[in-house]
Chains A and B, each alone.
Chain A
Amino acid sequence: MANVLEQLLNALAAAGLLFLVSAGLSLVFGILRVVNFAHGVFYMLGAYVGFTTVALTGWFWPALIVVPPVVGALGALLETSTLRFIYRRPPIYQLLLTFGIALILEESIRVLYGPTAKGVELPALLRDAIDLGGVLYPSYRLFVVVLGGTVGVGVWLFLRRTRAGLVIRAVAQNSEMADCLGADVARVRTLVFGAACALAGLGGVAAAPMTTAYLGMGISVIVDAFVVVVIGGLGSIGGSMAGSLIVGAAQTWGAFYLPEAAMVIMYAVMGAILVFRPWGLFGEEE
């Protein structure tokens, strides 16, 4: 029983991090109609900016506050200076551009920080493992579960319950009609792209104490995030949550119960879901 609880928490912690990355990827596709290959690099950037913040202040918590606006602002800047000009071009341009941005950012980080992984210390408050009825579990992972869940509910409420959320959904549904009705579509796109990058950055800084900040963390996370988004349905926040839970469970339980097949399980689940719902669990048929 203790073991089951531990595995459940492991899956939830993995899902929490995955959600922070995949939510932004899904939003950007829903609203900008861009498949953003650079999204993982913003996750990595979050981890590195977090490392610098912790190094400068000596505290972990300021990093959680500082990183999202910094990474988000950089994302918004890149949207206005590059992506904006290719929305009407064929998708191959988006692929080349976002892939190029990913390479440039990754190599810039290598030049700035060097090839060695950067360790980020746990906040003092969450340094120890706590006893949950016979299971020794790291308190920081519990925090990641809570963080992922809170952000998920927050984003969902924002999109459903606020006027700004309404405008965003309108742009996602039909950007030309929203434009005619007076919505500033260009601005919505910039802000959504920035917010998506900020979420990825938050994911990166939250992951850093568990995985360190390292080169290549962006590439490895983006593959998982794509699987999440495909399972959940492109453009759906609820879908990202469901997808994160499914992928998180497939990865952690797979590695525990079926180690030989651990690599395959995630893709097998995705394949199975696509057979019945090609547009994903929460996606809409187009």
Chain B
Amino acid sequence: MKRRDFLKVSTVGAVGTSMLAVPRGTWAQGPIKIGMPAALSGSNAQYGIQAKRAAELFARDVKAKGILGRPVEFIYEDTAGDPATAVRKAQKLVEKDGVKFLTGVALSSEALAVSAKCPEWKVVFMSTINGAGSLTTKSFHRYFFRVNTSGPMGARAVSLYLAEAPMKRFFALGSDYAWGRDSVASFTSQITAAKKEVVGTDFSPVGTKDFASYIAKIRQSKAEGVYLVLAGQDATIYLRQAHQFGLSREVKPIMEILELENMKAVGDAMVGAIGSSRYPFTIDTPKNRDFVKRFHDLHGMYPDMFDGETYEGLEWLAQVIAKAGTDDVEKVIDAWEDSTYEGLEGSFLMRKCDHQAVQPGFAVECVKDAKYPHPVPKVLATYPGDKVTPKCRTEDFA
């Protein structure tokens, strides 16, 4: 496996650097380097690839002007979704390439491992994907920033929506690891608080190929909605099979994250599913419409959740570096705290107390739209940042 990693990494690295090489000599100072230890292979590659796509568009957008008149250079490393590899690759980016900013880390497990090292390395960790609540609570430190909506914030948006919805009985099915179990617990407590009932819970192992047994249980529970904390492939397989069993007509799927990736793979069978979205690309603002168009021109597809979230992070980071007038890490951190940013999905505020970006939360539905070749997320409800962001350094909501 070592050799395989080496080959992959060297290829990715070589291609990445050659593509992004900016003609030297035309710039006053050396480049501002941003390191991306992202999962570009393995079963979670889709998330790393989203981060990379966003960075590629951002690199193109700032190519002419740079930041502070300096070119921007992205250096990609493949972590394959493994925390130990992610730390090793991040260390290489910091010590060998001299990057001062790390971003694009795909999994929360990787983020927790890499972020823990950042105070020692004195580099900024900017999360644009990672959902684990603990990153901004018990694992928080000065060098960590979360631009994206966290997992508890997503669960909160769905719960707020369901509190108003007519459904009363829910089944909760989660992936059998920390994210699934935490989210199901959080969902259960919020739904119970809204005087509704969770009639059953179950946890499927990551990589489940046949959901027939779970489908039978959900049907027997006579629930009206099923809350699903499944990501990527697991979600795709569940949704297809539930549709084939005729279950989705009886029990509405409610997704912790409603991803475009799933909509493409599942197709029309997913229409009608609701859930939360970190960034639904159909938000109708001039800035977002322009972004979606530029993204589509470059990549030939519509942006998924973390394409948008990562692009927002990079744009915000550039804005903060410009404001600080330097890429000095300590000064950038000071400039970032309590600063605001007009993102694709609305206004952002970087809270000083836990470096969690306060931003709108979305409940969305998967719908068919003749304008697009696949089903797309449609915004059902938008919640202001103060309603969906937990109290500082906690996972409690006001």
Contact = CB atoms under 8 A, between A and B. Distances in A.
Interface of A: 3, 6-7, 10, 13-14, 103, 107, 110, 115-119, 121-122, 128-129, 136-138, 140-141, 207, 209-212, 214-217, 220-221, 251-253, 255-256, 259, 262-263
A117 B236 contact: yes
B291 interface: no
A217 B152 CA distance: 30
A129 B233 contact: no
Contact of B216 (A7, A13, A141): A7
B286 interface: no
A121 B267 contact: yes
B210 interface: yes
A220 B207 contact: yes
Interface residues of B, number: 33
A252 B265 contact: no
Given A10-B213, A263-B205, A118 B4 contact: no
Given A117-B233, A119-B266, A216-B43, A252 B207 contact: no
A12 to B, nearest CB: 11
Nearest to B216: A6
A262 B205 contact: yes
Contacts, number: 99
A137 B207 contact: no
A216 B233 CA distance: 10
A121 B266 CA distance: 9
What does DSSP make chain B's interface, helix, strand, loop or mixed? helix
A216 B43 CA distance: 7
Given A115-B46, A116-B261, A129-B244, A255 B213 contact: yes
A251 B208 CA distance: 10
A26 to B, nearest CB: 20
Contacts of B240: 119, 209-212
Contacts of B202: 259
B264 interface: yes
B383 interface: no
18 contacts: A7-B216, A10-B212, A110-B45, A115-B45, A115-B46, A116-B46, A116-B261, A117-B261, A119-B267, A129-B244, A138-B241, A141-B212, A207-B209, A210-B210, A211-B209, A256-B213, A256-B216, A262-B205
A14 B210 contact: yes
Interface string B240-255: 1100111000000000
